[in-house]
Amino acid sequence: MEAMIVSPVVRNNGQVVAGLAVGPPGCESAGLTIPQVWSNARQTAAASILLSATEFRLRNVTQTETPGIASFRKLMGRFATGVCVVAVDAGEHGVSGMTVNSFVSVSLDPMLVSWSLQNRSSQFELYAKAPRFSISILSDDQAELAQRYASRADSELRRGDFIHSNGGLPVVSDALGHIECALWSNYRAGDHTLIFGEVTGLDFEQSDNHPARAPLGFFDGRFCRIEQ
């Protein structure tokens, strides 16, 4: 008679009550001892329980829909950022400035930063191909200036908004600090293009007598003050 293996059944206390191979005395001579049968039964029971638990989890996974653009925009608005103005020399047109909150430090060696430019911007060619540009970090009392250069159209420059850095680039007057960059590379990413710049110069206010001014922040679609 062939030895029979019964599917293991386990009580709550983990004891095997079925699943033991049952056969004639010759079963042991075939190379399977009674302790080995018990060990195999326990292993089979554990594997069966694990498989059942996995199948249960898979059956109960809720399929979620791909998030929409509106939800994505709303969520990303909860991520607070600083506010900067990117400026380039526009030749005979003077200076062009654009408010951004996508500024980020990328690398220390070499020193690289980046910001993102919308592909449909009316000034895309000017900024994407500019060999040099500046990034000015705004203080919390420069919200009006930030709003002015956040326009999708060509922003009207006001006398006094910009001065020229030691490197000859236009930078926002009285900003918390500014970085001068040489174009490193561009990378198109969806409906925006990442502009990478190598830092060639920088300047920022330093004072040991009083705390630095608070930076201008952007949160939930509005400018805000970032408390220190």
What is the residue-wise DSSP string for 185-200?
A: EEEEETTEEEEEEEEE
Measured CA to CA, the distance from residue 41 to residue 14 in angstroms comes to 12
Residue 191 placed within a domain = yes
**Can you give the CATH number for the domain in which 115 is found?**
2.30.110.10
User: What domain count does the chain have?
Assistant: 2
- Report, as an integer, the average pLDDT of 183-207: 94
Domain enclosing residue 27, as ranges: 9-59
Is pLDDT at 44 greater than 80 in this prediction? no
Integer-rounded Cα Rg, in Å, for the chain is 33
Measured CA to CA, the distance from residue 144 to residue 71 in angstroms comes to 28
- Report, as an integer, the average pLDDT of 65-80: 88
Q: Which helix (DSSP H) or strand (DSSP E) does residue 42 occupy?
A: helix 34-59
Measured CA to CA, the distance from residue 81 to residue 219 in angstroms comes to 7
Do 25 and 85 sit in the same domain of this protein?
no
Do 35 and 124 sit in the same domain of this protein?
no
> Domain end: 18, 40, 59, which one?
59
Global pTM value: 0.68
Do 84 and 43 sit in the same domain of this protein?
no
Asked if 156 contacts 149 with a C-beta cutoff of 8 angstroms, the reply is no
Measured CA to CA, the distance from residue 112 to residue 115 in angstroms comes to 11
Q: Give me the pLDDT at residue 43, please.
A: 60
- Tokens (6 digits) for 65: 């829909």
Residue 175 placed within a domain = yes
- Tokens (6 digits) for 94: 């003077």
Residue 1 placed within a domain = no
> Domain end: 59, 79, 94, which one?
59
Higher pLDDT, 114 or 66: 114
Do 78 and 159 sit in the same domain of this protein?
yes
Burial of 63 (0-12, 13-18, 19+ CB in 10 A): exposed
Q: Which of 129, 131, 105 minimizes the C-alpha distance to 117?
A: 129
Do 53 and 110 sit in the same domain of this protein?
no
Do 78 and 147 sit in the same domain of this protein?
yes
Residue 2 placed within a domain = no
pLDDT tens, position by position, 102-158: 999 999 999 999 999 999 998 999 999 999 999 999 999 999 999 999 975 555 677
Do 42 and 105 sit in the same domain of this protein?
no
Do 49 and 122 sit in the same domain of this protein?
no
Place of tokens 């540009």: 133
Amino acid identity, position 88: V
Measured CA to CA, the distance from residue 213 to residue 195 in angstroms comes to 28
Torsion of CA 153, 90, 88, 121, to 10 degrees: 30
Give the CA count within 13 Å in the CB-facing half-sphere of 80.
Answer: 8
| Residues whose CB is less than 8 angstroms from the CB of residue 41 and which lie 6 or more positions away in sequence, other chains included | 8, 16, 19, 20, 21
Residue 64 placed within a domain = no
Do 137 and 175 sit in the same domain of this protein?
yes
Is pLDDT at 47 greater than 80 in this prediction? no
Do 50 and 75 sit in the same domain of this protein?
no
Do 113 and 77 sit in the same domain of this protein?
yes
